[in-house]
Amino acid sequence: MKILAVNAGSSSLKVQLLEMPEEKLIAKAQVERIGLENAVVTVKYDFDENGKGKTWEIRDAVINGHPDAVKAVMDKFTEFNVIENVDDIKGVGHRIVQGGEYFSKTEIVTDYVSEKVLELAELAPHHNKAEHDGYVAFKQIVPNAVHTMVFDTAYHQSIPEERYIFPLPYKYYTQYKVRRYGAHGTSHKYIASVIKEYYGKDEYKLISCHLGSGASLCAIENGKSVDTSMGFTPLGGIMMGTRCGDLDPSILFYLMNKENLTPDQMNRICNYDSGLQGLSERSSDMRDIDKGEAEGEKLSFLARKVYVNRVAQFIDISHIT
């Protein structure tokens, strides 16, 4: 049985075609710079027993939106004979960042699920809408498959109330569901399952570190999330590639007054111009920070030290005793 695993970002699309239940990778594709100039489409297929396969790539594609990206991938999968008929694909799994308090597990997509994903886009403005666009595009091309949604926030629904509530007037939780949701739940849950298998027991405690351009840490006890660094949105928590993570909220008001910034402008600075990018004034990629350090750049050293310090701080205060 063939299934598709889909991860749609605001300007990217990642897809894997798998043979199940063997979990054999048949093909994978990535589309970058969706909606921007010179989009990049990469397809890998025909893998041997060592995991090496053929690669096809175009670096100046015109990809105006997720429907174009999905069509480009599926056309190449057909051209390279990794699928003969779209009806051979029996399931499509879509990664969704924000499931709010509505979803604590993977869900088969219904009108209700689809509507809630869009409703929750306010809490993940750079993710949910794009991920829903990916779902709609695949649903049109693979209409007879079972489509499911896997929510990054679902794993964190086990966090106790005293750890997910923010110290704001309680009415903001009851009226607007302002609380800690976390993210990267699928990654943290997988790490927990591997640790359980490795140690062969159900009772254990660990700190899971998902460190990338987007990053979060998770305190796990006996397989369940009991605390996480990310907050109301993926902006909160530790310092990341372009996100500032947690800071004194007064800083935002101060800078908005000083530079006459709108909320949207301040939000963009915190999400896209901060983190490693902002501190190093070089890059959001740690590999580039490495190069900066090798060249003696003071800000590259500073960016790494702050990043490491923020990770260590959360580990130190996490609820694992």
Q: Give the number of residues written for the chain.
A: 321
- 307 contacts: CB under 8 Å, gap ≥ 6: 238, 239, 276, 286
Both tokens of 280, joined, read 């190093």
Pairing of strands 89-96, 2-8: parallel
Quick one: angle between helices 263-272 and 249-259, nearest 10?
A: 120
Residue position matching structure tokens 């924000």: 98
- H runs (alpha helix) in 142-262: 161-164, 171-176, 185-199, 249-259
Q: Which of 74, 108, 105, 102 is nearest to 2 (CA)?
A: 74
Give me the sign of the Cα torsion angle 199, 205, 207, 210.
Answer: positive
Q: Is 152 a catalytic residue?
A: yes
Secondary structure (DSSP) of 16-74: EEEETTTTEEEEEEEEESTTSSSEEEEEEE---TTS--EEEEEEEE---SHHHHHHHHH
Spatial separation of the C-alpha atoms in residues 319 and 321, rounded to whole Å: 6
CB 85 within 8 A of CB 143: no
Give me the sign of the Cα torsion angle 127, 31, 53, 147.
Answer: positive
Q: Which of 46, 87, 111, 152 is catalytic?
A: 152
Dihedral angle over CA of 217, 221, 227, 229, nearest 10 = -10
Spatial separation of the C-alpha atoms in residues 13 and 19, rounded to whole Å: 20
User: Active-site residues: which are they?
Assistant: 152
